[in-house]
Amino acid sequence: MRLSRPSPALVIACLALLLAASGVSYATVKVTGAATNIVDPSSAANIAKVDNAGRLLVGDAGGPMTVDGTVGARSVAPANPLNVTGLFGVGGPQTLAGPSAAVNITALLVTAYPPVPAASEDSLTIAGWDVPGSATDCNTSPSVPVVVWSVDVFAVQPEVGTSFPTPLTLRPPAGRKECLVMSIAGFNGNGFLLHVNVSGFSG
């Protein structure tokens, strides 16, 4: 029995069927991709899960996500704020803060206290030094003081200041405590009082 040759319409219909089938298969692979499981290596029972919309479930998946610990809506004030302010004359070293585990400085401001003698100048130096861990004051001299800030204050420029967006931290070696001290020297024989303000926190 001799088979008849397929008609052009049948050939076109078969091609269309093949293209449609391959198109569905391609679309299926493209949309779904390959499945990937995220598993805790220490416990196989802990597997990441997604919901029926494909979103990754976080937290306990039983409601709004919770956070361990305490979360503040705004910055919390330091436990040990440092705010030294006062009038200081020529001399030193004079203790500003400490002894403590660390001293963190956020701002410094120095203002000449009137009346200011003409053509006079004071030099202010703020330094950190460490004392023994058992010390209750800063009267023990260190081997090497660390100068934190040094500035000249003139009668014609009576105010000088600076701030540290990231606190300037002075931390002592292990087993020691940190002190913040200040010295003022008068030049031209005309020393005057300085109003000094140091802000930050300790510990």
| Each residue's pLDDT tens digit, 150-181 | 888 887 677 888 898 899 889 988 999 999 99
pLDDT at 119 over 90: no
Whole-number pLDDT of residue 107: 93
Q: What is the mean pLDDT of residues 92-108?
A: 88
Q: Does residue 102 lie in a domain region?
A: yes
Q: Does residue 73 lie in a domain region?
A: no
φ and ψ of 51, to 5 deg: -85, -175
For residue 4, name the pLDDT band (cuts at 50, 70, 90). Answer: low
Q: Please tell me which residue, 22 or 142, carries the higher pLDDT value.
A: 142
Q: What confidence tens digit (pLDDT) does each residue in 49-99 have?
A: 777 777 777 666 566 666 666 656 566 666 788 898 988 888 878 888 889
What token pair was written down for 140?
A: 């023990």
Cβ within 8 Å of residue 122, ≥6 positions away: 90, 112, 152, 153, 184, 185, 186, 187, 191, 192, 194
Q: Does residue 41 lie in a domain region?
A: no
Whole-number pLDDT of residue 25: 44
Where b means 16+ CB within 10 Å and e means fewer, 54-70 reads eeeeeeeeeeeeeeeee
Q: What is the mean pLDDT of residues 119-125?
A: 83
Q: Does residue 111 lie in a domain region?
A: yes
Whole-number pLDDT of residue 1: 54
What token pair was written down for 131?
A: 């004392």
Location of structure tokens 């002075």: 170
Where b means 16+ CB within 10 Å and e means fewer, 82-114 reads bebeeebebebbeebbbbbebbbbbbbebbbee
Please give the residue range of the domain that contains residue 190.
81-202
pLDDT at 126 over 80: yes
Location of structure tokens 């292990």: 174
CATH code where residue 138 lies: 2.60.120
Q: Is 90 in a helix, a strand, or coil? A: coil
Q: Does residue 101 lie in a domain region?
A: yes
Q: Does residue 56 lie in a domain region?
A: no
Quote the number of domains for the chain.
1
Q: Does residue 92 lie in a domain region?
A: yes
Whole-number pLDDT of residue 65: 64
Q: What is the mean pLDDT of residues 111-121?
A: 74
pLDDT at 23 over 70: no
Q: What is the mean pLDDT of residues 33-48?
A: 70
For residue 24, name the pLDDT band (cuts at 50, 70, 90). Answer: very low
- Other CB atoms within a 10 A radius of the CB of residue 79 amount to 8
C-alpha–C-alpha distance, residues 30 and 130, integer Å: 66
**Integer angstrom CA distances of residue 53 from 28, 32, 49, 50, 64:** 17, 12, 11, 8, 17
Q: Does residue 30 lie in a domain region?
A: no
Q: Is the peptide bond before 132 cis (omega within 30 degrees of 0)?
A: no
Task: Judge whether 95 and 183 are in contact, CB under 8 Å.
Answer: no
